[in-house]
Structure formats: C-alpha cells, structure tokens
A and B are shown apart, each in its own frame.
Chain A
Amino acid sequence: EAGVVQSPRYKIIEKKQPVAFWCNPISGHNTLYWYRQNLGQGPELLIRYENEEAVDDSQLPKDRFSAERLKGVDSTLKIQPAELGDSAVYLCASSSRLLSSSNYGYTFGSGTRLTVV
C-alpha cells in the first residue's frame, strides 16, 4: 500500500505564475481533503471531497485557487496566479466512509512544499 501519494514534493515558482499539485488517495477512500499548513502553524482545511463532489470548499480562496477530483479518485489543486503568501505546505489526506473519520482520523500524504519568490 503506497498510502496517499502527492507530487511534486517541492515546488519553487515566481509570483504570478500558476502551479498545480496532484494527489492520489488510498484506494477505496471516498473522502479526500486538501489542507494548507503555513510555517509554524497546524494544517487548515481548504476543501473536502466526497467522491467527485466538493462538499466543503468554504475555506478555499476561490479567486485564485481551484480544485478538481475527476472520477472521484485523483485530485488536483491549482493556484493561479500564485502570491508570496501562498508559500506553505499543501497536504492531501483521505479517509474511508467505512472507517469513520471521527474514530480513525485521516491518512496524510507527504505534502508539497511550495515556495513563491
């Protein structure tokens, strides 16, 4: 089991450029989350998917951030254009409806560390 796979691990871009992150959740996990972790802070939820449907995107800055989860498996998070304040670690996590998140928590990927210069 590869776990939750994210790519790339690191990304350095200039401000105003676009960037995309990819996540492959654990097979069979219907719920997928994108979290952002700023330096010195805990992770904060950006968006939650149930299968292919975004059921909570209230914390996603929609003017520049977008996400998709086609076919309810892999997901992509995009920023366009990136700003200096977007520098952070972007974490993907997944969980299974069969294993209640309230009891078992989530499985996280390794994250993508984004640096905007």
Chain B
Amino acid sequence: AQRVTQPEKLLSVFKGAPVELKCNYSYSGSPELFWYVQYSRQRLQLLLRHISRESIKGFTADLNKGETSFHLKKPFAQEEDSAMYYCALYEKGAQKLVFGQGTRLTINP
C-alpha cells in the first residue's frame, strides 16, 4: 500500500534556526509529492509541489528517490512559519492524495 510517513508529530526550533520536516514515502511508481500547510484557524493549503522545484516562503523540498524521502527545509525559520505541515503523495491509479499524519512546527522567539 502507498504510504506517507512523517516521523515527527511535533517539532520546535528557535527563530533564525534551520528547519527540516521529514517525510518518507512508499510508492511503486514515479511519485508526485506535495507539502500542504495549515496555519492556525486557516484552511489546508498547498505549500509546494516537487514537480515544480520551487521555493515558497523560503521553503524547499527535494525528492530523493534513493531514500524515498521528500523532506521540507528552510534555512532560517520565522515565527510565522508555525503551523501544521502535511506531506502528501498523489496516488495516480486511485487519483487521490494520500497524506502523512502531519508535523506541528513551532517557532520559538
């Protein structure tokens, strides 16, 4: 079965420190991966897509097929980055997103 694993439920770092939110996946084909973010009292929204290789709000994520990982990184955390972060895999056959359990990121001042 396709699976997305986010090993850390909680992650706390200080402002200005680097951040890395881990995501590992299992998928038999060529994966399509996403990071979604949910700020307090806001809806779940797309942060970035691996296919576009973009940087959004200073975050980047690189697909590592050898390690089956798609970790989210930011070199200098800001307080407004505090949120829930979900890694998601697009399951092509079923045409659906499969989500990890999420990581709550807290940036301390």
Chain B proximity mask over A3-29: 1 for CB below 8 Å, otherwise 0: 100000000000000000000000000
Q: In the complex, how many residues of chain A place their beta carbon closer than 8 angstroms to a beta carbon of chain B?
A: 24
**Residue from the list A33, A102, A105, A110 in contact with B36, Cβ < 8 A:** A105
Looking at B11-19, B56-64, B85-93, the stretch in contact with chain A turns out to be B85-93
- Our count of residue pairs bridging A and B at CB distance below 8 angstroms stands at 62
CB-contact partner of A110 in B43, B88, B94, B102, under 8 A: B43
Pair A41/B96 contact, Cβ less than 8 Å: no
- B49/A105 in contact, CB under 8 A: yes
Residues in A lying within 8 Å of B, measured CB to CB: 3, 31, 33, 40-45, 48, 55-56, 91, 101-111
10 smallest A-B Cβ distances: which pairs? A42-B99, A108-B44, A102-B32, A105-B46, A102-B90, A110-B43, A45-B96, A105-B34, A43-B99, A42-B101
